[in-house]
Amino acid sequence: MPYKRVRRTSTDIDGLKSAMLSIVDQHDQLTIRHLFYLMVSAALIEKTEVEYNNVVIRLALQLRRSGDIPFGKIVDGTRLYRVPRTFGSVEEALRDTARLYRRDYWRAADELVEVWCEKEAISGFLYDVTAPLGVPLMVTRGFSSESIVQSVANDIECDPRPLTILFVSDLDPSGDIMPEDVIRRIRHYAPYGNIGLERIAVTREQAQLFNLPTRPTKRDGNRHAANFDGESVEVDAMPPDILKELVRLSIEEHMDLDQLQVLRTAEASEREQLRLFGKGGANG
């Protein structure tokens, strides 16, 4: 059915802006796509690309330019800005070293964990979870390249510990087979590696449990769609806080949390030693 354009009054627009501000205030950060799905779930707008482009993107831009939405609240994980790390002095470099110092929480662990994500747009949210736990985050941007797969296989060959890949992808024809495809291709290069897989999101059970908005499944020209039933769900449709919690809990299932606390205490002490060393070295 063709989309019928909604003519909204200025009062309607003000109401949407107010609702948008309320949604943004409830989250640390959002992507525009997350904001779109949250507004759809709240029955504020229709689930169409027209509403996404002409309402969500346009109004969010207005509210950011007016200062009502701080720019840091809406993130764009698809843009990469590379800046070399430089310092104004040795003292500044030493302070930075102390600030960035991290213990390897997994050095003595019996197993390893990585989080793999199909979409770069949500990688910032996931990194907020993986970084504090010392877990690598791999962004595949769709199906993984052969270079990525072969590189991971090399790491597995060098480290005999079991590796579990926690996968985050859309619930659609491609996202449904992507995790198993990764494992199959890694095993081609590392046939004796101990590799496990856990699909963290999005599952059909999660789509029902959280009542996630769906979209029509793209079937024309999609060779993966033949064995996929029903509508699709983008991972962006899952509220960020829920997704982050799912990933955090999945990682922690593979960690000794008591040992983690011991390592963090040692890490804080060593960081302070580095800070004092930097301060003394700069003064001396």
Last residue of a domain, one of 21, 55, 73: 73
Q: Is 120 left (phi over 0), alpha (psi -120 to 50) or beta?
A: alpha
- The answer to whether residue 104 sits within a structural domain is no
The torsion angle over the Cα atoms of residues 170, 173, 179 and 184, rounded to 10 degrees, is -170
Q: Which CATH number goes with the domain that contains 184?
A: 3.40.1360.10
This prediction's pTM: 0.78
- Based on the fold, state whether residues 133 and 242 are members of the same structural domain: yes
% of the chain residues with pLDDT over 70: 93
pLDDT over threshold 70, residue 77:
no
Q: How many domains does the chain have?
A: 2
With tokens 């949407």, the residue in question is 16
Region 214-233 average pLDDT: 81
- Based on the fold, state whether residues 130 and 34 are members of the same structural domain: no
- 183 vs 45: CA distance, rounded Å: 39
Region 34-52 average pLDDT: 90
Cβ contact 29:124 at 8 Å: yes
Region 89-102 average pLDDT: 84
- Confidence class for position 74, pLDDT limits 50, 70, 90: confident
Region 176-190 average pLDDT: 91
The parent domain of residue 228 ranges over: 110-255
Last residue of a domain, one of 73, 99, 120: 73
- Based on the fold, state whether residues 152 and 237 are members of the same structural domain: yes
Q: Which of 162-166, 173-177, 220-224, 249-253 has the lowest mean pLDDT?
A: 220-224
Region 159-170 average pLDDT: 94
- Based on the fold, state whether residues 20 and 65 are members of the same structural domain: yes
Region 186-196 average pLDDT: 92
Please name the amino acid found at residue 206: Q
- The answer to whether residue 175 sits within a structural domain is yes
- Based on the fold, state whether residues 114 and 216 are members of the same structural domain: yes
- The answer to whether residue 154 sits within a structural domain is yes
- 255 vs 63: CA distance, rounded Å: 42
Region 220-226 average pLDDT: 72
- Based on the fold, state whether residues 141 and 202 are members of the same structural domain: yes
- Based on the fold, state whether residues 59 and 134 are members of the same structural domain: no
- Based on the fold, state whether residues 126 and 247 are members of the same structural domain: yes
Q: Is 67 left (phi over 0), alpha (psi -120 to 50) or beta?
A: left
Cβ contact 125:243 at 8 Å: yes
Instruction: Supply the mean pLDDT for the chain.
Output: 88
- Based on the fold, state whether residues 238 and 143 are members of the same structural domain: yes
- The answer to whether residue 94 sits within a structural domain is no
Nearest to 4 by CA among 39, 46, 58, 35: 46
- Based on the fold, state whether residues 23 and 136 are members of the same structural domain: no
- The answer to whether residue 264 sits within a structural domain is no
- Based on the fold, state whether residues 138 and 198 are members of the same structural domain: yes
With tokens 């930097």, the residue in question is 278
- The answer to whether residue 69 sits within a structural domain is yes
With tokens 């525009």, the residue in question is 32
- The answer to whether residue 273 sits within a structural domain is no
- The answer to whether residue 178 sits within a structural domain is yes
Predicted local confidence at residue 1, as pLDDT: 45
- Based on the fold, state whether residues 114 and 251 are members of the same structural domain: yes
